[in-house]
């Protein structure tokens, strides 16, 4: 059995921006609030953090700022995956050097890869890492599915310890659990599937929802881990409409609007992402009011 990076809820954190630039003042406040709310881990510069449109310097600066601000209170997981394996290796080495606790490695996108290529690429990055690595399977974005047999092969690497499964296919999650057993931890990458994936042995969630509801997302995971499955199911269903609203347009478009409404920076994104359609934003804000997140 490999060491578990975290159990419970990790926030796939937004990268606040102001005037098109990274807003470090708001990022600091947001990190402090997440920690005060009891979050179990922070993911820096993943999909939700707009990693694809940050410059190389910004990407590194946000990771280092996050590590320094969190100061060891919870694990910081750096998004270092890329469709360029050499770049992923370079960013992974940097993140290890500045003190990130783990790496999140998305499968190569656009150029994609065969399963053989995925194994070679992920192993190369893991070889370069001095910290544990989490595979990130999100085929709707990458066009590339990490098959369960591939996960099982990758789990043989001592540094590959977990997978964030955002494929939406519960059967595939079950196959991973059956093939890998204790050799890899599974995290839900979809907020509407936290309880289903934990029921198959998942350790928690890497969450978008917890940007706006860190306490509640942690409590949902805690309820399941403490054996109160009924309460966990009730919470999963209670927040379903909010989760749906947070994904009614491409992530992180809705959650950026939500965080701005809560006072965490501007509703600012980088192209090709644009602000929400007015009707969708009105629906999101109304649901947030129902949950008492905004006035």
What are the catalytic residues?
136, 164
Rounded CA-CA distance 47/246 in Å is 14
φ/ψ of 187, rounded to 5, equals -120, 140
Distance of alpha carbon 77 from alpha carbon 80, whole angstroms: 9
Place of tokens 């296919």: 169
CA gap 109, 119 in Å, rounded = 15
């Amino acid at each position: 059995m490999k060491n578990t990076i975290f159990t419970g809820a990790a926030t796939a954190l937004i990268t606040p921006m102001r005037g098109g630039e990274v807003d470090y003042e708001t990022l600091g406040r947001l990190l402090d609030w997440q920690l005060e709310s009891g979050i179990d881990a922070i993911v820096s510069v993943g999909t939700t953090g707009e990693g694809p449109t940050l410059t190389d310097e910004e990407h590194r600066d946000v990771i280092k700022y996050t590590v320094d601000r969190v100061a060891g209170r919870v694990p910081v997981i750096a998004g270092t995956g890329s469709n360029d394996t050499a770049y992923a290796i370079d960013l992974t080495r940097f993140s290890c050097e500045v003190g990130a606790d783990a790496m999140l490695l998305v499968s190569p996108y656009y150029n994609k890869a065969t399963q053989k290529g995925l194994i070679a690429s992920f192993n190369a990055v893991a070889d370069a890492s001095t910290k544990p690595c989490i595979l990130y399977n999100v085929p709707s974005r990458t066009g590339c599915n990490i098959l369960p047999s591939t996960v099982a092969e990758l789990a043989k690497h001592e540094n590959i310890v977990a997978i964030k499964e955002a494929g939406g296919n519960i059967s595939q999650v079950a196959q991973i659990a059956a093939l890998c057993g204790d050799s890899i931890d599974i995290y839900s990458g979809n907020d509407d599937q936290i309880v289903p994936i934990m029921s198959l042995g998942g350790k928690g969630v890497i969450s978008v929802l917890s940007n706006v509801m860190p306490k509640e997302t942690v409590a949902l995971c805690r309820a399941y881990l403490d054996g109160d499955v009924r309460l966990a199911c009730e919470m999963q269903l209670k927040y379903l409409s909010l989760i749906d609203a947070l994904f009614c347009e491409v992530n992180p478009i809705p959650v950026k609007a939500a965080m701005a409404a809560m006072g965490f920076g501007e509703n600012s994104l980088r192209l090709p992402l644009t602000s929400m359609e007015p009707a969708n934003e009105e629906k999101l804000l109304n649901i947030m009011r129902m949950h008492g997140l905004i006035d």
